[in-house]
Amino acid sequence: MHLARFKRISLGHFPTPLERLDNLTSLLGGPEIWIKRDDCTGLATGGNKTRKLEFLVAEAIASGADTLVTQGATQSNHVRQTAAAARKVGMTCHALLERRVTNQGEQYEQAGNVLLDDMLKCEYHFCDEGLDMNAEGLKLAESLAEKGRKPYFIPGGGSNAIGALGYANAAQELVYQADAMGLRIDGLVHATGSAGTQAGLVAGFVALNAPIPVVGISVRAKREAQVTNVHKLACATHDLIGTRGDLDVNMIEAHDDYVGPGYGQPTDAMVDAISLLAAEEGIFLDPVYSGKGMAGMIGLIQKGHFEKDESIVFLHTGGSAGLFAYPHLFSKQRGA
Ligand SMILES: *Cc1c(COP(=O)(O)O)cnc(C)c1O
């Protein structure tokens, strides 16, 4: 795998740290738990979309674009990072925000990521739930082109094969770090949504011939649908990288037991996982993705999914800006 063959710009701080979670490891009594800090990518409070955008925005620049167009849920971390990337390269971001979560109180459409979108001069418009959001985003790009702009459309989550290169690169970065410290990784766990993160990781590990199982904790889709989405994108990324052979669907592992009532809807396990990581490790997760991902990892450990003497890595995909859209969830800790 030789990713310098692809266009890329620098948007973040890499490599991100790989740290041992001493307190969580001793609390759960094994396996040994490490954390890959992709919440520390640095772009406008960071997160996993930064890696994808390094490849996507390079394509946008090469195409002569002056505008990035994308879409996400109201509290999208992807839209926030895309808006920041746009400012950095002298573009404007136009975004559609889907009202996928409507029961979380007044702060939800103003605070957290939406506040940061405002500060990044993102031109966003709210949409009702249930539309084909990528199709709506393409329509928005067309209408901007008619007005003389030069838009570049980035799908939701930055999840196409070009974006997923960012996570093939992360797979390589992680293997180098682990090899340098003599760490054998027996599994990598993370929250999976639009599938680009997991697809890129799987394609990257295959290209590196480093058979590290990637465990996706779904935040939205049912298991079968998530496996299909990840597999499709992993195959496209595998082809783009130019790795030989087929990428078998059996390589894709996803769990849907931690979604709860739906995307962006709180669960007790998520609130407990976020509270635990803050109290034990001083690390902030988020209510939509990494909190459910961590709840999933803890649940799998408690079910005996990993051996006590194994070492696993939790990929922290970011999102803590979203905490401020859900202040009521954690107010009990103030004694309210
Ligand atoms: C987007 C996102 C994810 C999911 O990544 P996908 O590539 O969309 O599957 C996980 N965590 C956070 C914080 C995110 O913003």
To the query of whether residue 218 is one of the catalytic residues in this protein, the response is no
Tens-digit pLDDT profile for residues 210-235: 999 999 999 999 999 999 999 999 99
Tens-digit pLDDT profile for residues 120-142: 999 999 999 999 999 999 999 99
Q: Is 46 in the pocket of ligand 1 (CB under 6 A)?
A: no
Q: Is 81 in the pocket of ligand 1 (CB under 6 A)?
A: no
Q: Is 264 in the pocket of ligand 1 (CB under 6 A)?
A: no
Q: For ligand 1, what atom is nearest to the CA of residue 47?
A: 13
Q: For residue 58, which phi and psi values (nearest 5 degrees)?
A: -60, -40
Q: Is 159 in the pocket of ligand 1 (CB under 6 A)?
A: yes
Q: For ligand 1, what atom is nearest to the CA of residue 286?
A: 13
Tokens of 77: 């971390």
The pLDDT of residue 202: 98
Contact 243, 208 (CB under 8 A): no
Local confidence band at 331 (pLDDT 50, 70, 90 cut-offs): confident
Residue among 41, 43, 45, 48 whose CB has most ligand 1 atoms within 8 A, to mutate: 48
Which residue(s) pair with 216 in the sheet?
Answer: 190, 254
Q: How many CA atoms lie within 13 A of 320 on its CB side?
A: 19
Cα 41 to middle of ligand 1, angstroms:
14
Calpha distance 229→224 (Å, rounded)? 9
C-alpha separations of 178 from 46, 175, 311 in Å:
22, 5, 11
Mean pLDDT of the chain: 97
Cα 48 to middle of ligand 1, angstroms:
6
Whole-prediction pTM: 0.98
Tens-digit pLDDT profile for residues 48-91: 999 999 999 999 999 999 999 999 999 999 999 999 999 999 99
